[in-house]
Amino acid sequence: MSLSMAPTAAAAAAATAIPRLVLPPSIDITMPVSSSPPSSLVSVNRHMGAKHKAVIVMGATGTGKTRLAVDLALRLGGEVINADKMQLYEGLDVATNKVTAEECAGVPHHLLGIAHPDAEFTAEDFRREASRAAGAVTARGRLPIVAGGSNSYIEELVEGDRRAFCDRYDCYFLWVDVQLPVLHGFVGRRVEEMCDRGLVDEVAAVFEPRRTDYSRGIWRAIGVPELDAYLRSFPSVDEEERARLLAIAIKEIKANTRRLSCRQRAKIQRLAGLWRVRRVDATEAFRRRGAAAAEAWEQLVAAPCIDAVRAFLHDDFTADHSNADTAPMVSMFALAAAAAGV
């Protein structure tokens, strides 16, 4: 018996009107190794010496971080390093919203589906593996683009291990932001679209009645604990009661996703006070549908970000923060300087 929820009108509309952006399990495409990367990918500072360059794309869930990362990679010769803690785990591709091969558009992606579902993949593990992936990307003469919504992992990458990553990389930070009422409407429709794509059946396939702990590994992913009561109802309750339990679960998934977006946005606002962050407002692209949405994304999000990152790569900071709604501009080195009493 299929456990999937019947398609809803809203979900059907969302599926056709809102392009999905999801990455497949980690792709490692072998490329020729360049012993001397292009000069645009290296910064030279008389105090700090030569450093590679990297881009970090942040944003709450559903704001289009991966879409922007792919846009940047296609235009600027980059590879994407996943910074979503649930997408690091193997399995539950719909629940964790991993992107498809088609949506990758040929761009290599790293750190997707690399951890066992029951493993504890910590922020320190992410720092180590992301640093290793970035090193491999730069060795190929490509631009590392770290993208994901797990801001505690990004903070650990940047600030952890005595800021070793920043000793090796000159980082450019992008924040894709969407006004919360608009974003919450979008993520609600996206949950319904995920149900149409098989979210419930996917979770049912790995459901284990003996499991009561949803605080570790991939089992923390939104969409898994919320479905527990519904899946436990088989076969003891009738169809009407199961439908009620499923509706409650989906309502909880939407509510928890909205709460997550609020927490993520608050965390980014804090980090924007520590680092030099370019905030880009993508709200208008989310208000529109179809071709108009794609046009707004290209004009208001992709093109300005590509221009800004290109300026960063060529050390042209006069153009850096034009055409953007920016968060407070504080040097990414401010925290270290304050700690040192400078």
For domain 9-183+257-339, the CATH architecture is 3-Layer(aba) Sandwich (3.40)
Distance, in Å, from the CA atom of 271 to the CA atom of 274, rounded to the nearest integer, reads: 5
The pLDDT averaged over each successive group of 10 residues in the chain (342 residues) is 36 36 33 44 62 97 97 98 98 94 94 97 98 98 97 98 97 98 97 97 97 96 98 92 97 98 97 96 96 97 98 74 39 30 27
Residue among 321, 294, 277 at smallest CA distance from 64: 294
* Token pair in block for residue 197: 């794509």
pTM confidence score: 0.82
pLDDT tens across 46-79, in order?
A: 555 689 999 999 999 999 999 999 999 999 999 9
pLDDT at 272: 95
* Token pair in block for residue 24: 């497949």
pLDDT at 191: 98
Query: Phi/psi at 214 (nearest 5 deg)?
Result: -110, 30
Other C-beta atoms within 10 Å of 36: how many? 7
pLDDT at 138: 97
Question: Can you give the C-alpha Rg of the chain in angstroms?
Answer: 21
Residue among 311, 335, 315 at smallest CA distance from 324: 311
Task: Name 32's Cβ contacts closer than 8 Å, sequence gap at least 6.
Answer: 140
Residue among 49, 85, 66, 70 at smallest CA distance from 143: 70
pLDDT at 31: 34
Other C-beta atoms within 10 Å of 337: how many? 10
pLDDT tens across 284-304, in order?
A: 999 999 999 999 999 999 999
pLDDT at 316: 74
Residue pair 142/107 in contact (Cβ under 8 Å)? The answer is: no
pLDDT at 24: 32
CA 333 vs CA 74, 321, 325, 336: distances in Å: 29, 18, 22, 5
Distance, in Å, from the CA atom of 28 to the CA atom of 287, rounded to the nearest integer, reads: 35
Alpha helices in 25-150 (DSSP H): 65-76, 101-104, 123-139
pLDDT at 332: 30
